Amino acid sequence: MKKSKIYKFLGAVVFLSIIAAGIFYWQLPNRHKAIVKSYLLYKTGIIDNQWDVSNDKIEYKMISPDFYIDGIYRSMEGPKATNYVQLTTDSSLIYITGFKVKAIDSKTKATISKDFICHTNIDFNDVSYYSIFNLKNRIGKQYPRMATLSHGFESYEFPKGYGVPMKGKNLLYISTQALNHNLKDIRKLIKHEVTIRYSKDRNTKPLMCRTIFIELPFDENDPYKSPLDPASNMCVPVETKNHVYQDQNGNKLSGHWVIQPGKKTFTSDVNGQLEIKDSLRLHAATIHVHPFSTAIILFDKTTQKVIFKSKITNHTDRIGITKIESFTSEDGIWLYNNHDYELQLNVNNTTNNTIEMMGSMSLFFYDKELDAILKGNELSD
Range of the domain at 169: 30-204
Residue 363 has pLDDT above 80, yes or no: yes
Please report whether residue 367 resides in a domain.
Answer: yes
What is the mean predicted confidence (pLDDT) over 93-109? 95
Please report whether residue 378 resides in a domain.
Answer: no
Statement to judge: residues 228 and 193 lie in one domain: no
Rg (CA), the chain: 23
Tell me how far CA of residue 164 lies from CA of 89, 188, 243, in angstroms.
18, 36, 26
Over pLDDT 90: what percentage of the chain? 71
Q: Which residues have a Cβ under 8 Å from the Cβ of 209 and sit 6 or more positions away?
A: 142, 145, 146, 147, 164, 362, 363, 364, 365
pLDDT in tens, 25-58: 667 778 777 787 787 877 787 888 777 766 655 8
CB-based burial of residue 368 (10 Å sphere; 0-12 exposed, 13-18 middle, 19+ buried)? middle
Domain edge (last residue) among 179, 204, 229:
204
Statement to judge: residues 181 and 216 lie in one domain: no
Cα torsion angle, 189, 349, 224, 299, sign: positive
Statement to judge: residues 303 and 185 lie in one domain: no
Separation CA 214–CA 255 (nearest Å): 6
Split at pLDDT 50, 70, 90, the class of 312 is very high
Give the number of C-alpha atoms closer than 13 A to the C-alpha of residue 354, restricted to the C-beta side. Answer: 13
Beta bridge pairs of residue 153: 150
Statement to judge: residues 237 and 277 lie in one domain: yes
Please report whether residue 181 resides in a domain.
Answer: yes
Statement to judge: residues 367 and 228 lie in one domain: yes
What is the mean predicted confidence (pLDDT) over 230-237? 89
**What DSSP string describes 168-210?**
TT-EEEEEEEE-BSS-SS--EEEEEEEEEEEE--TTPEEEEEE
Statement to judge: residues 229 and 128 lie in one domain: no
Statement to judge: residues 219 and 339 lie in one domain: yes
Residue 217 host element (H or E): strand 216-217
pTM: 0.85
Statement to judge: residues 142 and 243 lie in one domain: no
Domain count, the chain: 2
Residue 114 has pLDDT above 90, yes or no: yes
CATH assignment at residue 144? 2.60.120
Statement to judge: residues 184 and 234 lie in one domain: no
Statement to judge: residues 71 and 199 lie in one domain: yes
Please report whether residue 300 resides in a domain.
Answer: yes
Over pLDDT 70: what percentage of the chain? 91
Confirm if 51 and 57 have CB atoms less than 8 A apart: no
Domain edge (last residue) among 204, 222, 252:
204
Split at pLDDT 50, 70, 90, the class of 104 is very high
Statement to judge: residues 124 and 266 lie in one domain: no
Domain edge (last residue) among 154, 184, 204:
204
**What DSSP string describes 52-119?**
EEEE-SSEEEEEPPPEEE-S-B-TTTS-EEEEEEES-SS--EEEEEEEEEEEEETTT--B--GGGEEE
Cα torsion angle, 132, 135, 140, 145, sign: negative
Statement to judge: residues 259 and 175 lie in one domain: no
44/321: higher pLDDT: 321
Please report whether residue 72 resides in a domain.
Answer: yes
What is the mean predicted confidence (pLDDT) over 307-333? 96
pLDDT in tens, 124-138: 999 999 999 999 999
Residue 380 has pLDDT above 50, yes or no: no
Look at 4-8, 121-125, 211-215, 265-269 and tell me which has the smallest mean pLDDT.
Answer: 4-8
Please report whether residue 14 resides in a domain.
Answer: no
Please report whether residue 131 resides in a domain.
Answer: yes
Please report whether residue 35 resides in a domain.
Answer: yes
